[in-house]
Amino acid sequence: MLSGSAGIPPKAPPKPSDTLLSASSLLANRFPSIQPLRVYTVPGREPRLNLVTDSINAGSLFGGVGTAIILATMLASRRGAKLRVVTRTEAPDEQGFSQVLECNGLTTPGNVEFVHLNVNDSKSQLDVCEGDRFLTTSWWTTASVLGSVPAGRVDYLLQEDERMFYPLGDDWLRCNELLQRRDIRFVINTELLYRHLVDNGLAHLKDVAVWFEPAFPKQAIQGSMTTASSGKRNLFFYARPNNLRNLFYRGLEVLDRAVLEGIIDPRRWEVIFVGKDVPKVRLGEKLEPVVLPTMGWRDYGRFISEVDVGLCLMCTPHPSYPPLDLAAAGAFVLTNKFGLKQDLRQYSDRIVCSELDTVSLLEGLRTVIAMAESEAPQPREEAKVSRSWPSSLKAAVDHLT
């Protein structure tokens, strides 16, 4: 599933005002997402796991949020606990929650509770008892929960070096301080990200973290590989102009040159941009890409089964989900190197990693297009990724139980 952080970073600094504010009010207005979780205590010791995220609605159900749903469901089941999903910015979509589990071969629990604890509503509160534990999904949800809940009851699912979301400044500082904590347990998405974090100022994670590799169940990839209705092959560009780490404009630059130089032949290839807020453009002055919005899990599974080549850039150490999704579906993928992320063949030989200069990316694109054109649509080579979430998450669930 398309990757993304499980929520949104704190809002931008407020504009200067003549109104006299207390320092505490100014800080709360600047960082609403990390203010202490509004809770009240109730009696009871029945075990309950609280998954705290910003949204589980269609526009937010990317790979990261889907992984959080899967981990929370498995962890609650192992603990014999009820599961409560707590969203901060949007009311929860219960149907979307069930679809994530069904598409990944898991059964939806019968006792899930959904609560919208609106971050902007001072009257919104959450009841908490002794049996409550929390699984957080970003540094800001973690900071908020830790403002009201003992650290020993909080586990943090970390799926990116979230410090990279910001320039050096107050947001980066608070994020880094949270990641430095030794009194909570971390669950880290991929060994590659774990190794990067340990090597970049977070060596304590060796003592308080466990990592896992994501799974890509076959039932999540629906349909069979076919060419487009036009008879052309499909090239998918992961297009997110407002997520800077996805390098939309470098990808656009490379695709434009690829059409101009004949690497992409418009007579043989359909180019498809998938993402949010994608402008309409013309590539090489002659090819207009198809633009699709982000999709639900079922639609996305059908879509990737029809992709021949993917261009998926991610200027962070995590491999991100789209390259793995596509390789698991049998497509060829070009992505970029970054730090320790130099080679992703441990997941699939169909993933090519390139340096980020345009010459290298063009050569990489030429390579994956040639690989796709030299192979018949069927059969598709089996990827090396895990196909089972219970197997992938066993060590993490054992660690947290």
Q: Is residue 21 part of a domain?
A: no
Q: How confident is the model at residue 227 (pLDDT cuts 50, 70, 90)?
A: very low
Q: Is residue 20 part of a domain?
A: no
For 147-173, how does the pLDDT look when each residue is reduced to its tens digit (9 = 90+)? 999 999 999 999 999 999 999 999 999
Asked which of 5-9, 61-65, 131-135, 179-183 is least confident by mean pLDDT, the reply is 5-9
Q: Does residue 377 surpass a pLDDT of 60? A: no
**Does 210 lie in the same domain as 330?**
no
Who wins on pLDDT, 358 or 63?
A: 358
Q: Is residue 278 part of a domain?
A: yes
**Does 395 lie in the same domain as 341?**
no
**Does 168 lie in the same domain as 42?**
yes
**Does 328 lie in the same domain as 190?**
no
Q: Is residue 270 part of a domain?
A: yes
CATH number at residue 201: 3.40.50.11090
Instruction: List CB contacts of 95: < 8 A, sequence separation 6 or more.
Output: none
* Residues 182-201, mean pLDDT to the nearest whole number: 98
Token pair 């205590």 in the structure block, residue:
41
Q: How confident is the model at residue 256 (pLDDT cuts 50, 70, 90)?
A: very high
Candidates 65, 5, 395; CA nearest to 210 is 395
Q: Is residue 2 part of a domain?
A: no
**Does 185 lie in the same domain as 47?**
yes
Boundaries of domain holding 145: 31-215+391-400
**Does 152 lie in the same domain as 296?**
no
Q: Does residue 26 surpass a pLDDT of 50? A: yes
What is the number of domains present in the chain? 2
**Does 256 lie in the same domain as 225?**
yes
Q: Is residue 378 part of a domain?
A: no
* Cα 263 to Cα 45, 232, 285, 363, 367, distances in angstroms: 63, 15, 14, 9, 10
Q: Is residue 300 part of a domain?
A: yes
**Does 354 lie in the same domain as 225?**
yes
**Does 234 lie in the same domain as 201?**
no
Q: Is residue 55 part of a domain?
A: yes
CA-to-CA distance for 382 and 117, rounded, in angstroms? Answer: 43
Q: Does residue 134 surpass a pLDDT of 90? A: yes
**Does 195 lie in the same domain as 103?**
yes
**Does 254 lie in the same domain as 353?**
yes
CATH number at residue 236: 3.40.50.2000
**Does 237 lie in the same domain as 176?**
no
